[in-house]
Every structure is written in C-alpha cells, then in structure tokens.
Amino acid sequence: MPVGSPLSVAALLAGARAITRSGVAAASRERVTALLSERYAPQAVLLTDSGTAALTAALIGALQDRPGCAVALPAYSCYDVATAAVGAGASVLLYDTDPHSLAPDLASLRATLRRGAAVVVVAHLYGYPLDVAEVQRLAAEAGAIVVEDAAQAAGATLDHCPVGGLGSVAVLSFGRGKGLTGGSGGALLAHDAAGARIVERAGGLLAEPHAGWRDLVALAAQLFLARASVYAVPAALPFLRLGQTVYRKPRALRAPTAVSCSVVAATWPLADRETEARRGNAARLLAALEGHGELETIRALRRARPGYLRLPVLATTTARRAAGEARARRLGIMPGYPTVLADLEQFGARCLNGDAGFPGSRVLAARLCTLPTHGRLTGPDLASLEQWIREAGGQ
C-alpha cells in the first residue's frame, strides 16, 4: 500500500457510534480541537471536511482584505492545491521549487511577490519540513500572508516544533492515506492575529456535514488493504486509479463528519507510533540508497525531523521508468506528480505566469518517484524494496 494510515477496529467502531449518537459526535469534535490546541498552541482552530476545504477557506478568508490579488503557489505540488485556488476563485502566480530539497526557489518566490501576490502557500511535501521562517520574512516585506500547507506533514518537526505551527495560518489534512486520518477531514490553525481573522471568516463558509457513512466504508476498506500483498490486487486494476494523481473539481465547503472526528480522536495515539515506524523504515531505505547514482535522495534541513509520509527520490530516466512498472507498483513505489500545475488543462488559464519555465519543478515532474515507508511494511516487504533499489540503482 503506498501510504498506510494508522487505523484500528476500535477506531472504526468509534466512527460507527458517532453516526447514531449525536452526543458522541459533539464530544469527538471537542476532543480533536483540544488535541490540536495542545500540540500546536494555535490562537484559533476550525475543523473542516477535508484539507482541500481548509485551504480553500483560508484563501477566501485571506483575500477578503486584498480583493483581486493573486495567490502564490508552488509550481510542483499536490493537485489539490490547484483545486483550492480554483474553489477560492483566485488568480495564481506560481513559484519554482528546488528539486534537490523540495524547498521554494527564493528568487522565483520574490518574483511572484513583486508581481503582487497577497498570499503565499508553502507545502511540506512528503513530510519534509521547509524553512517557513525565511518565506515568512519575504512575505512580510511584501505585506503578504503565509499559509502553511502541512497536509502531508503529520509527525514532522522543525527546531523541535511540530510542522503546522509555523505560518500565519496552517492547513492540516486527515484524509485517506495521511499520517493521521479520519477517512476525511481537515483543520485550519491560526497562529497570529491575521490568521485568526482568516479562521473566523472561514468558519462562516462551511455548510452542514455529510452523514459520514462513506467515510466509514472507505476506512474499513483502507484497514483491509493495509498489507502490501492485499493492496497489490486492487492496485493491478487500472479502472480503480489507486495511487494516481488526479485533478478534482472544487466541492462545497463543509464541516467535518462525525465519523471523521471520532476516528481522528481514536487514532491520535497510533499516529505518533506510526511516525516513528515511518522514520525507522525510511532510515533503512535511505541506507540502501547510498551510493546508487541512479537514485538521488532529497536533502532534509539539518534542523528538521521529517515525517516521511513517503520517501521521495530523484531518479534517472531509466530508474523512473522502472518506478512505473507493475512490479514497482505492487511494492508501493509510485512516480511523483506527473506535471507542474501550470500544465494542468483545468488550471493553466488561471496562472498569470503559466508561461514561465519552472525548471526545478519540471525536473521533479520528470524524475521524482516515491517509496513507501508506512508502519505495516514487513521485513520481506522492506527486503523487496531494497532489492528494487539495487536493481534500479544500477547495482
């Protein structure tokens, strides 16, 4: 399985109870808010039905003070970032990404700020923490707000602080396949006065939640597919599109389901243990990757402890081709996002600088692939991944 979120039968039962008992649902929402407040110490918390909804609401709230201004997005990122910008009705200026660290190209970011970007979204891809302080400094000089997209960063820290506590406002995701999951769900965290205003505005945008039965079915399937040997069966069926990167149209912004909050609260302790398991598996794979010229690892900041939602590597053309083969897919190895945001058919016209080169981001689109790190990898699974590394790495 590409990403294994921490789940348990007890968590599923908690989600089922929340559907039929309103008191349980309300208590679980309060519990999740309290857990987030304890870990991140935000000024305000807003729970949503997805990380995409949280980011969309944050952009709408931030742009109320700067109508008509653009949002700066990383040119290489999850396509849901593009969905959020479309849902917010925002014009977009893209900035380039350093392919060796996944960090913003600061010269490119400065250029977007000079063109009037009022909001900067910075994303911690695959759980690799970025230097948000430097982005904050550049944004402050231009009068812009920083939105920290920590959707993939559960468990990651920078300077011993949890990632998700570094921007004016941060976005978390509890969706399927995240380091902390409720099947769906997300959150907005405000860390200063500007962020608190954004969260307050965002709260008025949310419609009533769905019942949550879909979440419960999806979580049950995810728990069943937790082992790589089982996941290999549906992964081989192309019409299911498992692990594929797909642009999704914006949806109505909603509050979280009762199932989502109950499962997040129940799996919170499991998520911390899962982070340590991912770090241990990543360390073993990183050791296997040493000296393989066909596969280059991504540089992490020295002050950072990545959460390793996935282990990204830059592959040569030959190795990247191997990452797309059926054998690699069965092992949970996947190509990265296949195109820069500017080239998305449904999104490109929204980009004010879509004709820029974005060389670093295009390197990532062409060469990045990711290896699984989740805690349900067995010894034989890891040995198979090491064997694949040796073969794809040219040894």
Higher pLDDT, 1 or 114: 114
Burial pattern 223-259, b for ≥16 Cβ within 10 A else e, equals eebbebeebbeebeeeeeebbeeeeeebeebbbbbbb
pLDDT band at 240 (very low <50, low <70, confident <90, very high): very low
What is the edge-to-edge ordering of all strands in the sheet holding 169-173?
44-48, 186-190, 169-173, 145-149, 117-123, 70-74, 91-95
Tens of pLDDT, residue by residue over 3-56, are 567 888 888 888 888 888 777 788 999 999 999 999 999 999 999 999 999 999
Instruction: Name the strand (E) or helix (H) holding 158.
Output: strand 157-158
Backbone angles phi and psi of 190, in degrees to 5: -100, 135
Tens of pLDDT, residue by residue over 155-183, are 999 999 999 998 899 999 999 889 899 98
* Contact in structure between 249 and 52 (CB atoms under 8 Å): no
Task: Read off the pLDDT of each residue in 316-321 and give the average, rounded to a whole number.
Answer: 92
- Full-prediction pTM beyond 0.85? yes
pLDDT of residue 239: 41
Q: Residue ranges of the domains in the chain? A: 1-395
Burial class (CB in 10 A: 0-12, 13-18, 19+), 122: buried
The rounded distance, in Å, linking the Cα atoms of 357 and 359 is 5
The rounded distance, in Å, linking the Cα atoms of 147 and 51 is 13
The number of angstroms, rounded, from the C-alpha of 18 to the middle of its chain's C-alpha atoms is 26
- Mean per-residue pLDDT of the chain: 91
Nearest to 6 by CA among 379, 383, 374: 374
pLDDT of residue 192: 95
Write the CATH number of the domain with boundaries 1-395: 3.40.640.10
The rounded distance, in Å, linking the Cα atoms of 2 and 242 is 9
Backbone angles phi and psi of 307, in degrees to 5: -90, -15
